Each structure stands twice: as C-alpha cells, then as structure tokens.
C-alpha cells in the first residue's frame, strides 16, 4: 500500500521528518533532507547522542568541500519515515554543521527499499515498499 507524504515545494530542499525510536522506547523526531547524493542515510552525531544511540560525539574537523564528515556507523532499532517503519537501520554517524538546520540526510538506501515518486506539482512523495529490496 503506497504512502503519501507532503513536502513544502517552496523550500530549497525536500524536508522530511524522521522519527527514531530509541532503545528505551522513546520517540525522537528530527528534520531530514532527501539527498540522492548521499549513498546511505546519515544522522548527526548530536542527534544520536541525545537519543542515546551513541555514547558521545567526536570533535569536528570539517574538511573543505561538500562531504559530510562521516566517522562511524550505528544501528537504529526503529525508524519511521514517510509512514514506513524500518527496523535495525544502519546509518552513518556524521558531524553536521549547525547552520544546516537538520539532523539527517535520507540517502539512496531509502530508494533501495521503497519505490518513490516525487510529484512537485502536488508537493507529495508517494512511497511503497519494494518486494525485493536491494540493501
């Protein structure tokens, strides 16, 4: 069954809310950008530290260019995005610049799991789980 998710077509990016259910069953809601330039979904270390997924953050040493600063991987017990629930999602842990105003990048791994139709004329994403997802 496809899910429909709205987004603001006036925003410079497609912003998507993403919820993380931590090990203590508490829900944390973060803002993400749908970024097909990211091979895998990434989370800011400060967000994951707050949610108790990682123990501590590392000092940032941002390099020149467009890359985020990935330095670890983490398994998120449960994630909700676009109305879909994903268990044990492996993500990159990254340092995010504070001025980015977001805590996650939804990457190509999402497209490996879900057929995704972007309709800018209506400001909606229509997503449906793929029967044989390539992970």
Give, as ranges, the residues between 24 and 53 that touch another protein (CB under 8 A).
Answer: 26-31, 33, 35-38, 46-47, 49-52
Tokens of 40: 């895998």
- We find the least distance from the C-beta atom of residue 122 to another protein, in angstroms, to be 13
Q: Which is nearer to another protein, 73 or 85 (CB)?
A: 85
Tokens of 101: 């105003």
- Is 70 a binding residue for another protein by CB under 8 A? The answer is no
- Is 76 a binding residue for another protein by CB under 8 A? The answer is no
Distance, in Å, from the CA atom of 134 to the CA atom of 123, rounded to the nearest integer, reads 27
- Is 60 a binding residue for another protein by CB under 8 A? The answer is no
Q: Which of 72, 83, 112, 133 binds another protein (CB under 8 A)?
A: 83
Spell out the residues 6+ positions from residue 109 whose beta carbon is closer than 8 angstroms to its own: 39, 40, 41, 135
What is the Cα gyration radius of the chain? Answer: 15
- Is 106 a binding residue for another protein by CB under 8 A? The answer is no
Q: Is 18 helix (H, G, I), strand (E, B) or coil?
A: strand
- Is 71 a binding residue for another protein by CB under 8 A? The answer is no
- Is 91 a binding residue for another protein by CB under 8 A? The answer is no
Distance, in Å, from the CA atom of 48 to the CA atom of 64, rounded to the nearest integer, reads 24
How many Cβ atoms sit within 10 Å of the Cβ of residue 35? Answer: 19
Applying CB under 8 A, which residues contact another protein? 4-7, 12-13, 16-19, 26-31, 33, 35-38, 46-47, 49-52, 65-66, 68, 80-83, 97-103, 105
């Amino acid at each position: 069954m496809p899910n429909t998710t709205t987004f603001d077509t006036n925003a410079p990016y497609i912003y998507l809310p993403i919820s993380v259910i931590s090990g203590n069953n508490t829900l944390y809601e973060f803002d993400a950008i749908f970024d097909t330039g990211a091979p895998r979904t990434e989370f800011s270390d400060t967000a994951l530290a707050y949610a108790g997924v990682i123990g501590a953050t590392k000092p940032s040493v941002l390099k020149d260019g467009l890359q985020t600063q990935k330095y670890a991987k983490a398994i998120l017990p449960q994630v909700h995005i676009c109305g879909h629930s994903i268990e044990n999602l492996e993500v990159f842990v990254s340092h995010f610049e504070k001025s980015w105003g977001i805590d996650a990048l939804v990457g190509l791994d999402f497209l490996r799991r879900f057929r995704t139709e972007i309709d800018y004329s209506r400001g909606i994403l229509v997503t449906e789980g793929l029967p044989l997802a390539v992970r």
